[in-house]
Amino acid sequence: MKTKKRFKGSKLSLLFMLMFVIVLAGCGNDEASPASNSGTSGGQEASENIDTIAAIKERGKVIAGVKYDTRLFGLKDPISGNVEGFDIDMAKALAKKILGDETKVELKEVTSKTRTPLLQNGEIDIIIATMTITEDRKKEVDFSDVYFNAGQSLLVAKGSPITGIESLNADTTVLAVKGSTSVTNIKEKAPDAKVLEFENYQEAFTALKAGKGDTLTTDNSILLGMMQDDPNYEMVGDIFTDEPYGMAIRKGDQQMVDTVNEMLQEMKDSGEYDELYEKWLGTSPPSAE
Is residue 180 part of the contact set for ligand GLU (CB under 6 A)? yes
Is residue 109 part of the contact set for ligand GLU (CB under 6 A)? no
Radius of gyration of the chain (CA): 24
Q: Helix, strand or coil for residue 195?
A: strand
Listed in sequence order, the residues at least 6 apart from 230 whose beta carbon sits closer than 8 Å to its beta carbon are 205, 209
Member of 218, 247, 264, 267 binding ligand GLU (CB under 6 A): 218
Cα 101 from Cα 97, distance rounded (Å):
8
Least CB distance from residue 123 to ligand GLU, whole Å?
18
Member of 64, 243, 259, 264 binding ligand GLU (CB under 6 A): 243
Least CB distance from residue 131 to ligand GLU, whole Å?
4
122 to 161, contacts with ligand GLU by CB under 6 A?
A: 129-132
User: Residue 157 pairs with which residues in a beta bridge?
Assistant: 233
Q: Helix, strand or coil for residue 156?
A: strand
Q: Are strands 194-198 and 105-109 parallel, antiparallel or unpaired?
A: unpaired
Least CB distance from residue 147 to ligand GLU, whole Å?
12
Q: Helix, strand or coil for residue 93?
A: helix
Q: How many beta carbons lie within 10 A of that of residue 202, not counting itself?
A: 20
Give the binding range for ligand GLU (CB under 6 A) out of 141-149, 160-168, 214-222, 223-231. 214-222
Is residue 114 part of the contact set for ligand GLU (CB under 6 A)? no
Member of 38, 114, 167, 182 binding ligand GLU (CB under 6 A): 182
Binding site for ligand GLU (CB under 6 A): 112, 129-132, 177, 180-182, 218-219, 222, 243
